[in-house]
């Protein structure tokens, strides 16, 4: 049996490199040889034990690679082709997909009796590095390959499309979920990689004043390059006061929350105009409290939308088209390069946000 290297969850605080068998390819699968992958903030939640996954699971959910082997029923692709697949890798045959929310398929857990109603794994539709082996490895098995594999357009580098599987798809969904219209005022809370993509997405959708909030000056400077008109450092000002002043007391049309904390969620609600939309992207680790006044006692015609990264080959095709067209450039988000062999050091750097890190390109090859 041939073996491969893979980064696996061992126990809280430990993700380590291990040898695992290269998976067998079923009729609807494809085996992808990973050329570049990366670490996500969600992987850090897994590392810390804040988000439970099975011991021995290969982590990571952002694949860029080459088709090594195609299942017998997968048509329209060739072995050797460069592809990506969405981070969630949805099952497009599921009830959830036919209901219009492909990423929310919970059939794994319903079948096993471990449904989300006990607060365990509400995000069961997310497969790579959550329910099945993920992408921080030499190879990954992509199920439902015909629905999930998206060929990379000629001329685009791995680094240029590395944000498409998760960061761009999630960040842009945050902007799409914010119901942005041409001329809107939009605030984006937190300018990590996903928040930066939400800022860029708000610009692409026609927002005319984008207010980016973070506590890190370096990230705020990148936010400007991504389309923010105003940047606010929460360490230097009262963000809610400042935004209410900027909008003449009216509040913003839309606010996007991209961190997953009580503070950012609450601020995003406090600055929202009556009738506005709060689009939430963060992964929360605790119960949220909704302040009564900001919520207008429930009478504010507010909309609160949440999202899990959309996937599928059509979503990926569109995102890569944004990159190919030059409408947005996320190359600047890749700040570091590491070999898969050095994944433990990469996690250490990323989880402590040292050295201005935004995203790390991880490469199994030489
Ligand atoms: Zn992620």
**Structural domain 3-89+126-162+329-363, CATH architecture:** Alpha-Beta Complex (3.90)
Cα 126 from Cα 91, distance rounded (Å): 9
Q: How many CB atoms lie within 10 A of CB 13?
A: 8
Cα 232 from Cα 209, distance rounded (Å): 13
Are the beta carbons of 77 and 83 closer than 8 angstroms?
yes
Class in CATH terms, 168-306: alpha beta
22 contact partners, CB below 8 Å, separation of at least 6:
1, 2, 3, 4, 31, 138, 139
Domain with CATH 3.40.50.720 in the chain: 168-306
129 contact partners, CB below 8 Å, separation of at least 6:
43, 46, 53, 57, 58, 59, 60, 61, 135, 136
Strands (E), 80-124: 82-84
Cα 111 from Cα 106, distance rounded (Å): 9
Distance 61 CA to ligand 1 centre (A): 6
Distance 131 CA to ligand 1 centre (A): 14
Distance 242 CA to ligand 1 centre (A): 31
Distance 278 CA to ligand 1 centre (A): 21
Type and span of the H or E element at 213: strand 209-214
Cα 93 from Cα 105, distance rounded (Å): 9
Are the beta carbons of 87 and 61 closer than 8 angstroms?
yes
From the number of C-beta atoms within 10 Å of its C-beta (0-12, 13-18, 19+), residue 47 rates as buried
Distance 362 CA to ligand 1 centre (A): 14
- Going residue by residue through the chain (366 aa), what tens digit of pLDDT does each one get? 699 999 999 999 999 999 999 999 999 999 999 999 999 999 999 999 988 899 999 999 999 999 999 999 999 999 999 999 999 999 999 999 999 999 998 776 655 555 444 444 556 688 999 999 999 999 999 999 999 999 999 999 999 999 999 999 999 999 999 999 999 999 999 999 999 999 999 999 999 999 999 999 999 999 999 999 999 999 999 999 999 999 999 999 999 999 999 999 999 999 999 999 999 999 888 899 999 999 999 999 999 999 999 999 999 999 999 999 999 989 889 999 999 999 999 999 999 999 999 999 999 976
Domain with CATH 3.90.180.10 in the chain: 3-89+126-162+329-363
Distance 292 CA to ligand 1 centre (A): 32
pTM of model > 0.75: yes
Distance 245 CA to ligand 1 centre (A): 34
């Amino acid at each position: 049996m041939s073996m491969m290297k893979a980064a696996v969850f061992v126990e809280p605080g430990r993700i380590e490199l291990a040898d695992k068998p290269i998976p067998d390819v079923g009729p609807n699968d494809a085996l992808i040889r990973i050329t570049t992958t990366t670490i996500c903030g969600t992987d850090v939640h897994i590392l810390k034990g804040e988000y439970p996954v099975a011991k021995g699971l290969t982590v990571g959910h952002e694949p860029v690679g080459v088709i090594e082997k195609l299942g017998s029923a997968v048509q329209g692709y060739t072995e050797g082709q460069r592809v990506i697949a969405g981070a969630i890798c949805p099952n497009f045959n599921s009830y959830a997909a036919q209901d219009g929310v492909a990423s929310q398929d919970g059939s794994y857990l319903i079948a096993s009796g471990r449904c989300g109603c006990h607060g365990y794994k509400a995000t069961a539709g997310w497969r790579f590095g959550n329910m099945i082996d993920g992408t921080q490895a030499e190879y990954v098995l992509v199920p439902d390959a015909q629905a999930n594999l998206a060929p990379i357009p000629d001329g685009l580098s791995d680094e240029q499309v590395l944000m498409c599987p998760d960061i761009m798809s999630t960040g842009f969904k945050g902007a799409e979920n914010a119901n942005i219209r041409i001329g809107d005022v939009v605030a984006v809370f937190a300018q990590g990689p996903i928040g930066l993509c939400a800022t860029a997405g708000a610009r692409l959708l026609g927002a005319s004043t984008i207010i980016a909030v973070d506590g890190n000056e370096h990230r705020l400077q990148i936010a400007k390059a991504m389309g923010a008109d105003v940047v606010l450092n929460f360490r230097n000002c009262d963000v809610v006061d400042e935004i209410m002043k900027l909008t003449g007391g009216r509040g913003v049309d839309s606010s996007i929350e991209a961190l997953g904390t009580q503070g950012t969620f609450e601020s995003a609600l406090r600055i929202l105009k009556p009738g506005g939309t709060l689009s939430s992207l963060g992964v929360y680790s605790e119960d949220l409290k909704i302040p009564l006044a900001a919520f207008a006692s429930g009478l504010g015609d507010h909309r609160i939308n949440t999202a899990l990264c959309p996937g599928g080959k059509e979503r990926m095709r569109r995102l890569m088209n944004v990159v190919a067209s030059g409408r947005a450039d996320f190359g600047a988000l890749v700040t570091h390069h590491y070999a898969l062999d050095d994944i433990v050091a990469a996690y250490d750097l990323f989880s402590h946000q040292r050295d201005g890190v935004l995203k790390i390109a991880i490469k199994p090859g030489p």
